[in-house]
Amino acid sequence: MRRKISIFGATGSIGQNTVDLIQRQGGVENYNIVALSGGENINLLARQAIDLHADIAITAYLEKLPELKMLLLNTGIETAAGAEAIAESATRPIDWGMSAIVGAAGLNASFGIVRQGAVLALANKESIVCAGQLLISEVLKNNATLLPVDSEHSAIFQALQNNEPKSVERIILTASGGPFKDYSLEQMQQVTPAQAAVHPKWDMGQRISIDSASMFNKALEVIEVKHLFSCQSKQIEVIIHPQSIIHSMVGFADGAMFAHLGAPDMRGPIGYALNHPNRNPLPLARLDFAKLSQLTFQAPDPARFPALRLAYRVMETEGLSGAVFNASKEAAMDAFLEGKTGFLDMAMLVEKALDDPYLNEQIGGDVFSLDAITKIDLAARRFVNVLIENG
């Protein structure tokens, strides 16, 4: 039987890699594609929908719908647009769903997949950072399966296999250090969005590349580890490993450490989630240790990368602080992309949001309510926007 799947964020970096693997693994012969969602790149979305015989193609943007309809005229492929249409399409029955929309906008797709008891391949780390407790409780309630696609979390998931959670002593997340690993604070102050969006090791979307440069990406990932592997914040460490060959490590009670190594190619973790529990051949470059010659490590500098400290603060605060952290970070990045604020100011703005008394009153709200999460997300964005408008 053909496996029924949907891909949310199909036109993005993760989405295109997912489509690539599906094509290599037999395409429409082996997979029945239900929904594909995209954003502005209507041509690519239409191409993917035709190639994969999708039931429905959805663009996030209402104004793009006429163009999408034109491109898919007489194909029999249904079209739709907007956040609600994406949420609706995520409730259509599938066996496996990829959640790869960027930002908190990806939450509805993750919840739609989980609530129908399917396998959620989770690239959208924001779902966990903003709504970790709710998402995991829904996975259990609906007998769904959550497979992390973030490379570090896939590595940890694989390194943990068959070991009792209580035997885990520490989890070490590796970070490439991004393009500004060796920049001074003064240099970092001057950084432009174009410089921040170029990653030395991974080919990713614009926003996650900028998050990697500020280490906000690693900060989100630390919070993601805490929820996914239910450990304490003091068990989670971050180490800079510029070669990006070790994707993360798990240390056990007996002192043994397990590291996951591989080429820096997201088709590794995506393919693992697609084929789980099997390991099928994947088109990844194989490691040549003689050529690698050395793997190096260094501690991240807290002065230049304050995002990490803020992540530990969020883990201590708990409640809805993850949603405040993510939303204020997204709003700060919007401002950075528009040239309204500097690169280092993003962390300053997020810290101000975490300090704000009004937002702090709401942080104690219901972590199991998607409404409460959406409300505090909007409040945190408004808070950052007001700060920026007032200079």
**Which residues are CB-contacts of 248 (< 8 A; sequence separation ≥ 6)?**
151, 152, 153, 155, 156, 159, 171, 172, 173, 174, 259, 260
Segment contacting Mg ion by CB under 5 A, of 10-18, 25-33, 147-155, 191-199: 147-155
For residues 17 and 341, which CB has a smaller minimum distance to ligand NAD in the complex?
17
**Residue 150 within binding range of ligand NAD, rule CB under 6 A:** yes
Taking phi over 0 as left and psi of -120 to 50 as alpha, with beta for the rest, 26 belongs to left
| DSSP-derived 3-state class of residue 320 | coil
**Residue 150 within binding range of Mg ion, rule CB under 5 A:** yes
The Cα–Cα gap between 361 and 333 comes to: 24
Give the per-residue contact string, 75-114, with ligand NAD (x = CB under 6 A; - = no): -----------x-------------xxx--xx--------
Closest distance to Mg ion from the beta carbon of 201 (Å): 11
What is the Cβ-side half-sphere exposure of residue 380, based on CA atoms within 13 angstroms? Answer: 33
Segment contacting ligand NAD by CB under 6 A, of 119-127, 134-142, 279-287, 356-364: 119-127
For residues 152 and 377, which CB has a smaller minimum distance to Mg ion in the complex?
152
For residues 64 and 218, which CB has a smaller minimum distance to Mg ion in the complex?
218
Options 15, 97, 179, 242; binder of ligand NAD; rule CB under 6 A:
15
Options 35, 72, 114, 125; binder of ligand NAD; rule CB under 6 A:
125
Closest distance to Mg ion from the beta carbon of 247 (Å): 8
Binding at 353: pick from Mg ion, ligand NAD, none (beta carbon under 5-8 Å per type): none
Give the per-residue contact string, 18-47, with ligand NAD (x = CB under 6 A; - = no): --------------------xx--------
Binding at 134: pick from Mg ion, ligand NAD, none (beta carbon under 5-8 Å per type): none
DSSP-assigned beta bridge partners for residue 145? 119
The Cα–Cα gap between 142 and 151 comes to: 25
**Residue 14 within binding range of ligand NAD, rule CB under 6 A:** yes
Give the per-residue contact string, 291-330, with ligand NAD (x = CB under 6 A; - = no): ----------------------------------------
**Cβ atoms of 221 and 149 closer than 8 Å:** no
DSSP state of 285: P
Options 80, 107, 144, 204; binder of ligand NAD; rule CB under 6 A:
204
Number of Cβ within a 10 Å radius of residue 186: 7
**Residue 122 within binding range of ligand NAD, rule CB under 6 A:** no
295 token code pair: 């793997």
**Residue 11 within binding range of ligand NAD, rule CB under 6 A:** yes
Cα–Cα nearest to 271, from 18, 91, 67, 14 = 18
Binding at 9: pick from Mg ion, ligand NAD, none (beta carbon under 5-8 Å per type): ligand NAD
Closest distance to ligand NAD from the beta carbon of 153 (Å): 9
Buried b (16+ CB within 10 A) or exposed e, 87-101: bbbbeeebbbbbbbb
Give the CA radius of gyration of the chain: 20
Could you give the residue ranges of the DSSP H alpha helices within the chain?
Answer: 13-24, 42-51, 65-71, 83-89, 107-115, 125-141, 151-160, 185-189, 193-196, 206-214, 216-228, 267-275, 289-292, 307-317, 321-337, 345-355, 357-363, 370-389
Number of Cβ within a 10 Å radius of residue 134: 21
Residues that bind ligand NAD (CB under 6 A): 9-15, 38-39, 60, 86, 100-102, 105-106, 123-126, 150, 202, 204-208, 266
